[in-house]
Amino acid sequence: MSQRIYPITMPKWGIEMQEGTITAWNASVGQSIAKGDALLDVETEKIVNSVEAPVSGMLRRIIADVGGTEAVGALIAVVAGTEVPDAEIDAFIAAFKPADTSFEPDSGGAAAAAPAPAPAQVAPSPPANLSVPGGEGEQRVSPIARRLAEKLGIDVSRIKGTGTHGRVSKEDVEAYAATLQGRAEGSAPDVPAGTPAPAPTREKMTSMRATIARRLFESKQSIPHYRLAIDVELTALLAHRARLNAAGGAKVSINDLLVRAAALALVKHPAVNSQLQGDEIVRFPQADVCVAVASDNGLVTPIVRAAETKNAAQIAAEVADLAERARSGKLARDEITGGTFTISNLGMFGVDRFDAIINPPQVAILAVGAGADRVIARNGQAVVARVATLTLSCDHRVVDGAAGAQFLATLREFIERPDEL
């Protein structure tokens, strides 16, 4: 190292990132690390990124624990040689002031912020076995037990500790939780009357969900949405899908065919296949279709690039791979940024129809409802057919009503006459 002590700070990926959540430390304090080693994992927006060690040395301090959310530039760890005394590292941490610096994903480094000249006053940490401050008589709770109780929504003050001086341990919390579970399932009928019900659970938003919430809030407030809905008959599409799947290869879903149909319609209607960037409308020659995928942390929208150039089987294989990696948080940044259009399908959940919120800078999003048997008129006769409702949300600043309607008409043509799919 070119300096005795090297700070590891929360990196910045993209201009919108303001904070990140640490999901894993891949090294422990006192461990030697080499430049380029995967040091920790940080969750930001919709993916988890691996942060590489910017230098070689020893990990002397971990300042931000797993699960902690830190602002960009905040000090999260310290790397130094074994010859550096602890007192010098303590002084470095106390004096550290975040600078407006970051590293880019391809550089393999972390932000290095220079310490301020004057040390800040740092309050001493409380003893590890005391989680509830106060005078005598205050409950003694281990940090692990308190975190578990918060996660389970349990009021820790109601738990009788079995440790020294009544200290509440992780095992005490687990036993109390098991009692509550048994009571809920009817297996503990002898619980004394008047025992309070479990408290509701509370959890801080992850970085991903917070970003989703912010972006959708801004979209709903700033974009003049309007919606167009059509009913499409799926009979021919279902038959086409059956023929494709009978031929072997990747199993094709109705959603895969909708991605293909939408892509073909988008290249015919570039007003819908657009982004609004500042005061410029950017129209794209290819359809990069985002497919909404539900994950434990929120909605993720990986992209099928140039979907109009791929057949249904290719789209099916790509969507399956993207969805699997989306749910496990293993998507790369370029796999979720830069899409030109989004499809959100809740039909598999039995939702008949719904409105979707536009994902800026895109200017339209398609909401797909469930296919269901309905009575329709065909050649003057009432017949039963499988029908689904498609709802297109448009940004009126870019997509006029006629343009949106024309796109839907073309999309319906591809769906009801799927020979080109």
92-106, 124-138, 159-173, 301-315: least confidently modelled range: 124-138
Residue 246 phi/psi, 5° resolution? -70, -25
The Cα–Cα gap between 225 and 221 comes to 9
- How do 381-395 and 364-368 pair as beta strands? antiparallel
- pLDDT digits 0-9 by tens, 115-155: 333 333 333 333 333 333 333 344 577 767 787 888 788 88
**Phi and psi at residue 369, to the nearest 5°:** -95, 175
Please give the angle made by the CA atoms of 400, 299 and 26, to the nearest 5 degrees: 140
Alpha helices, DSSP H only, in 34-188? Answer: 86-95, 143-152, 170-184
pLDDT at 212: 80
Q: pLDDT value at position 148?
A: 80
- Pick the closest to residue 116 from 104, 132, 99 (CA basis): 99
Q: Report domain 129-204's class.
A: few secondary structures
Q: What are phi and psi of 323, to 5 degrees?
A: -65, -40
- Altogether, the residues listed in the chain come to a count of 421
3-class secondary-structure state, position 258: helix
Active-site residue identified among 165, 240, 269, 396: 396
Give the start-to-end residue ranges of the domains of the chain.
Answer: 5-95, 129-204, 221-420
More confident residue, 123 or 26: 26
Please indicate whether residue 396 is annotated as part of the active site: yes
As a whole number of angstroms, the distance between CA 76 and CA 42 comes to 11
| CA–CA dist 406, 418 (Å, integer) | 18
Q: What angle do CA 152, 323, 227 make, to 5 degrees?
A: 95
Whether 389 and 347 have beta carbons less than 8 Å apart is answered as: no
The token pair at 169 is: 């341990």
Domain 5-95 grouped into CATH 2.40.50.100: yes
User: Measured between alpha carbons, how far is 401 from 417 in angstroms, rounded to an integer?
Assistant: 24
Dig out the tokens for 184 from the structure: 């809920």
Task: Quote the DSSP letter at residue 395.
Answer: E
Q: Where are the beta strands (DSSP E) in 45-152?
A: 47-52, 57-62, 69-71, 75-80
Using CA of residue 29, residue 32, residue 36, residue 37, what is the dihedral sign? negative
The residue type found at 374 is R
The pLDDT assigned to 120 comes to 33
What does residue 353 show for φ and ψ, rounded to 5 degrees?
Answer: -160, 155
Task: Yes or no: say if 122 and 91 are a contact pair by the CB < 8 Å rule.
Answer: no
Q: Which amino acid is at 126?
A: P
DSSP letters for 356-388: ----TTB-EEEEE---EEEEEEETTEEEEEEEE
> Contact at 8 Å (CB) between 68 and 85?
no
Write down the pLDDT at residue 51: 87
Cα–Cα distances (Å) from 343 to 47, 183, 257, 307, in that order, read 20, 44, 12, 12
pTM for the whole thing?
A: 0.63
pLDDT in tens, 343-398: 999 998 999 999 999 999 999 999 999 999 999 998 899 999 999 999 999 999 99
Amino acid at 308: E
Q: Which residue type does 162 have?
A: T
Which of 154, 150, 133, 132 has the alpha carbon at shortest distance from 141?
Answer: 132
Closest CA to 130 of 107, 106, 156: 156
> What is the predicted pLDDT for the residue at 88?
93
pLDDT at 184: 56
Domain 221-420 maps to which CATH number in 1.10.3720.10, 3.10.310.30, 3.40.50.720, 3.30.559.10?
A: 3.30.559.10
Helix pair angle (312-327, 235-246), 10° resolution? 90
